[in-house]
Amino acid sequence: MNDRTIKSQIISGLQLAAKTILAIATAGIFFGSLTAIISPSRVRPDSFLVRSPASGWILLAVATTILIATMNRWVKILPGVLGYSTLGGLIMLASGQSNKVPVPRLTAFLLVLFTVASSLLSLTFQERRLSIVDRLALLGFLFCLAFSATPKFSTMLTALAIGFGCLLLAWMIDRILRRGDHGSSRQLHRTATDSAEHH
């Protein structure tokens, strides 16, 4: 019995490690291939992604497919990832630099604001079954994160704003649909009650 328990724990640990490695590798391929496509100059010249542009599109398609298929899982850790990013933003705001590179306080403040607001919104996706709108919003959010990784301040802000807008739009649509469902349920309940009283 004890041997089975130990064996099951080892297997469970190996499965968790494999899933974690797969998630990190998928995220790396997604962001790396998208960066190679939109900004080849930021990729090492000897990288096969630069030598063979088609490979970037193929890897991006593979990574996107995996992200869509595993969305129900990684959406649960998204608030934690964004929360960790908030900590990094606070350190950046306090020190005024990132990896010894000076960062304007306004930039650091806006990054913190973005990560906090996005983290709070991403929590709401765990409270419901993901709809098509939710999935499109989450995927759009990831693409915007990739586009925001640029030295251009205006491009970064635009990408982050659009990404946050994707999450906000999905949240608003869900709230509207929920209110509509509650209104329909109340109407049906009133109709049933009135009918019972008449009889």
pLDDT-derived band of residue 141, with 50, 70 and 90 as boundaries?
very high
Residue 184 in domain: no
Residue 185 in domain: no
The answer to whether the CB of 144 falls within 8 A of the CB of 98 is no
b or e along 142-168 (b: 16 or more beta carbons within 10 Å of the residue's beta carbon)? Answer: bbbbbbbebeeeeebbebbeebbebbe
Cα(67)–Cα(17) distance, rounded to whole angstroms? Answer: 18
Residue in the structure block whose two tokens are 């590179």: 101
For 9-31, write each residue's pLDDT tens digit: 677 666 666 777 777 788 888 88
**Share of residues in the chain with pLDDT > 70 (%):** 74
3-state secondary structure of 101: strand
Residue 195 in domain: no
Whole-number pLDDT of residue 113: 92
pLDDT at 122 over 60: yes
Domain of 129, in residue numbers: 73-179
pLDDT at 174 over 50: yes
Query: CB-based contacts of 118: which residues, under 8 Å, 6+ apart?
Result: 82, 141, 163, 164, 167
Whole-number pLDDT of residue 186: 54
For 33-67, write each residue's pLDDT tens digit: 777 777 766 666 666 565 566 777 888 888 889 88
Q: Provide the 10 A C-beta neighbour count for residue 30.
A: 21
Residues 108 and 82 both lie in one domain: yes
Which of 39, 69, 99 is where one domain is finished? Answer: 69
